[in-house]
Structure 1
Amino acid sequence: MVLSLRYHLATGSGDNTCKVWELRNRKCLYTVPAHQNLVSSVRFQPTDGHFLLTGAYDNTAKVWSHPGWTPLKTLAGHEGKVMGVDVSPDGKLIATCSYDRTFKLWLSE
């Protein structure tokens, strides 16, 4: 099945999951058991959506394959809750910001 990113929306939740929604049908396609605490931020890779980022109150961010939703990488290093995640337009850099008043840049490779 080919998934078009423009018809998908990802949400984070207090139940530690990330849900991927199909906007045309208004249905949840996948529930990803993403973290050990509240999921505070989600972001698709902006150009072709080959991966999804999640950030959470468990002090980590994770990279997930799209489609398939398998974990590709855990980004651990913050001493506080991860409050935001983003990815560069070319998909090579990932930025995370934390409640510990730091931000980190990660290579997506």
Structure 2
Amino acid sequence: MRERDRDELWFHSKIKGALDRMEELHEPGVPPEWWFKALVEERRRLKRTLWRDLGLFWLASFAVLSVMFWLLNYDLPLFAVLQAAGLAGALWFVFRRFGKRVKRDWPNR
């Protein structure tokens, strides 16, 4: 008898039964059918919501750009004032959000 055959016989006699019992005890369960249906329905709902939000975004951006181009062509001073106000608001937001960062030193240095 070859050594490999002897090892296989030892494995089957000593370990195979215990491994089979462990696999039976810890067999992963398949989720019920209602779980899969709920998952599919949730994905469909999210897809509809995302398409609706994308459509609203495009409509809002079209309206904003239309007004800005109209102002650029017909009322240049008001366009400049709105651009300056937008820049000031953006800078205020950035400095308020990121301006108070303090470098922290670790105590173990």
Q: TM-score, normalised by structure 1?
A: 0.15
Which structure dedicates a bigger proportion of its chain to helix?
2
Task: Give the number of the structure whose residues are more often strand, by fraction.
Answer: 1
Which of structures 1 and 2 has the bigger CA Rg?
A: 2
Q: Which structure ranks higher in relative contact order (CA pairs < 8 Å, sequence separation ≥ 6)?
A: 1
